[in-house]
Amino acid sequence: MALKKEDIYNFIKKAKNVLLEGKEEIFRSSQIGKILLEISSFNRDKNGLLKEVGQRLYKLDRSNLTLPKSFDAYFKQLTELEEKIAESEAKIADLKKQTPSKTDQTKKTDSE
């Protein structure tokens, strides 16, 4: 069975439409992706600003500025975390004192 010109034309027309739809979908998807990246960037900037505001607010509390009671739980958690960090840093310092340095190990093997 031979293909007619009309069949070939219809096939090409359908293929063209499919490709155009695909092109439009790819374009829409790329626009969505670009906007999502912008939103991510905005959120990153927002989080950075919130972090800065929080740090400044925390420092204000350190200087005995009166803040609303709603901040008390946060400051309590921050104080507890600072204590845990200090304890952990002290443990590291103790472990470093207990660990012989490489020069100490070399001296022991040289004298043996």
Mean residue pLDDT of the chain comes to 84
Residue range 44-56: average pLDDT?
92
What is the C-alpha to C-alpha distance for residues 34 and 42, in angstroms, rounded to an integer?
A: 12
Whether the pTM exceeds 0.75: the reply is no
Backbone phi and psi for residue 100, each to the nearest 5 degrees, phi listed first = -70, 140
pLDDT-based confidence at residue 43 (cuts at 50, 70, 90):
very high
What is the C-alpha to C-alpha distance for residues 34 and 44, in angstroms, rounded to an integer?
A: 15
pLDDT-based confidence at residue 55 (cuts at 50, 70, 90):
confident
Count CA within 13 A, CB hemisphere, residue 112: 6
Residue written as token pair 């900037």: 45
pLDDT-based confidence at residue 62 (cuts at 50, 70, 90):
low
Domain residue ranges of the chain, discontinuous segments joined by +? 1-66, 68-99
pLDDT-based confidence at residue 71 (cuts at 50, 70, 90):
confident
